[in-house]
Amino acid sequence: MPGFPTYLFDLDGTLIDSIELIMASFRHTMRTHLGTVPPDAEWRAGFGRPLRSQLLRYARDPDQVAEMVATYRGHNRVHHDRLVQPYAGIHEVVGRLIDQGATLGVVTSKNRAATEHGLRHCGLDRFFAVLVTSDDTTEHKPGPAPVLEALTQLDASAERTVFIGDSPYDCLAGKAAGVSTAAALWGPFSRETLEPHAPDYWLECPEQILQLACS
């Protein structure tokens, strides 16, 4: 048996490398609606939060937020398959976990349509028993609701579940839900950024997921 019976994964920056696409869509949206592009670091700091809440701080009113969301998603759809790929080793790791009897789920701040497309494109859709997206809860990461929803759907105990993610929001959501947390350092956030959030495990590469042990 694997170390944990249940493994929850963030999507972007953890399972799939979509960072170039995210940044390109952000820059395109800012140029289209603001005529200028804020520093990349501002947008990267919000990785892990739902799109609308990220755009809200740039828009002048709710109508413009809706327009910006549409622009962002339109750009994202057109360029997705060219720019997105699974992280090296992810296929092998999730396949091994399934073979060992683990149950896997995805907990992401991305909407369901984009989540399903990303997993299909990367050949990962067959591995996950549940997807919890921004469409499925009213509260989002860093709150615990998405993680708790995954536990409910899987009938899994928090004490025997680990949530693997790349962002501070993943660490915060996992801790608030009472699950173990593991920081994926192959994503866009540095160890220095994640250290204040005290994940239970540090992962330098996907293969180290197989070494996690239920404490």
pLDDT single digits (tens) 159-174: 999 999 999 999 999 9
User: In the predicted model, what is the mean pLDDT of the chain?
Assistant: 95
Average pLDDT over residues 191-214: 95
- Residue 202: pLDDT over 90: yes
Calculate what percentage of the chain has a pLDDT beyond 90.
93
- What confidence score (pLDDT) does residue 1 get? 56
- What confidence score (pLDDT) does residue 52 get? 93
Provide the token pair at 74: 């339109």
Q: Could you tell me the pLDDT band of residue 123, with boundaries at 50, 70 and 90?
A: very high
Backbone angles phi, psi at 180, to 5 degrees: -75, 150
Amino acid identity for residue 179 in this structure = V
Query: 57-66, 149-158, 166-175: which range is least confident on average?
Result: 57-66
- What confidence score (pLDDT) does residue 26 get? 95
Domains, the chain, ordered by start: 6-17+85-211 (3.40.50.1000), 19-83 (1.10.150.240)
What is the rounded distance in angstroms from the CA atom of residue 18 to the CA atom of residue 1? 31
Provide the token pair at 115: 């989540």
What are residue 131's DSSP bridge partners? 106
Catalytic residue numbers? 10
- What confidence score (pLDDT) does residue 40 get? 93
pTM of the model: 0.94
Instruction: List, for residues 6-59, the tens digit of each pLDDT value.
Output: 999 999 999 999 999 999 999 999 999 999 999 999 999 888 889 999 999 999
